[in-house]
């Protein structure tokens, strides 16, 4: 039986956030941001292991108590220069430690998406568990899209029909994802699906919503805090 294994790349520096502390450790509802993604993944009965990929030499992680998650949690200090490299290094290290098998499903989820819900997660797994390729959570683009020139003048309005914003988790089988990221090693990709697409395959888009946004800029932090607080008050 294939298992469902979560992999959280958390080796970024959060340069667009502009804090010295990498954004995955910024305080969100009195917890480091990454806590929230781990908590949602941990609550899923289907997910049997959570791999967290840290930057080599990251000591910040060890300042917190993660013992409540310990039965499923494995930390690997093998992050790379890019997200894709962090994911690939994590996949390789997990296999070396016998934590994954070729046919297992890997759910790659950004540490910086703290508002993922259990419903979105279960929906993704349900929709893709029998899929040939795999896929990801995504939302149809809502805004009107403009293409600009270098001086920020509109050249053209792009149709938003059939355009989606990619989110995470992105869910692919171990061997396929590892192969795809190997092949894409020098390509400038920002998600896992791009590597799969480069093999000529067509990952499935599973409808999500805007709550599962990526905390990227300082103002995103306040929004995530409001969303999580509102859920706690329900």
Binding residues for ligand CTP, rule: CB under 6 A, are 9-17, 23-24, 53, 79-83, 86, 110-112, 214, 216
- In angstroms, give the least distance from the CB of 77 to ligand CTP: 12
Whichever of 53 and 124 has its CB closer to ligand CTP, that residue is 53
- Residues 67-101 as b/e (b if ≥16 CB within 10 A, e otherwise) read eeeeebbbbbebbbebbbbbbbbbbebbbeeebbe
- Closest CB 134 distance from ligand CTP, rounded Å: 19
H or E stretch at 50: strand 47-54
Q: How far is the CB of 32 from ligand CTP (least distance, A)?
A: 12
- Whichever of 34 and 206 has its CB closer to ligand CTP, that residue is 34
**Nearer CB in complex with ligand CTP: 16/160:** 16
Q: How far is the CB of 116 from ligand CTP (least distance, A)?
A: 12
Pick 10 or 128: Cβ nearer ligand CTP: 10
Q: Would you tell me how many other CB atoms lie within 10 Å of the CB of residue 219?
A: 8
Nearer to ligand CTP, 2 or 62 (CB): 62
3-state SS class at 206? strand
Q: How far is the CB of 124 from ligand CTP (least distance, A)?
A: 17
Closest residue to bound ligand CTP by CB:
12
- Taking CA atoms, 30 is separated from 24, 27, 70, 131, 135, in Å, by 13, 6, 20, 38, 32
Contact 38, 73 (CB under 8 A): yes
Least Cβ distance, residue 74 to ligand CTP (angstroms): 15
Q: State which residue, 129 or 187, has the beta carbon closest to ligand CTP.
A: 187
The answer to whether 161 and 192 are in contact (CB under 8 A) is: no
DSSP H stretches of helix in the chain: 33-43, 83-96, 118-128, 174-183, 192-197, 218-232
């Amino acid at each position: 039986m294939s298992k469902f294994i979560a992999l959280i790349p958390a080796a970024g520096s959060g340069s667009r956030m502009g804090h010295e502390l990498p954004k995955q450790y910024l305080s969100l509802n009195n917890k480091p941001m990454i806590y929230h993604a781990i908590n949602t993944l941990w609550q899923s009965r289907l997910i049997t292991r959570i791999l967290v990929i840290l930057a080599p030499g990251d000591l910040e992680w060890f300042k917190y108590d993660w013992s409540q998650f310990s039965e499923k949690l494995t930390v690997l200090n093998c992050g790379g220069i890019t997200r894709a490299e962090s994911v690939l290094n994590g996949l390789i290290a997990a296999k070396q430690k016998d934590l994954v098998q070729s046919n297992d499903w890997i759910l790659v989820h950004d540490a910086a998406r703290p508002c993922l819900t259990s419903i979105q997660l279960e929906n993704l797994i349900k929709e893709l568990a029998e899929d040939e390729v795999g896929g990801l959570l995504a939302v149809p683009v809502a805004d009107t899209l403009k293409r600009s020139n270098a001086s920020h003048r509109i050249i053209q309005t792009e149709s938003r029909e059939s355009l989606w914003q990619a989110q995470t988790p992105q869910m692919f089988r171990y061997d396929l994802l590892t192969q795809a990221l190997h092949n894409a090693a020098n390509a400038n990709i920002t998600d896992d699906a791009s590597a799969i697409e480069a093999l000529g395959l067509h990952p499935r888009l599973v409808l999500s919503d805007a709550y599962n946004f990526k905390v990227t800029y300082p103002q995103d932090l306040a929004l995530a805090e409001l969303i999580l607080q509102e859920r706690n008050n329900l």
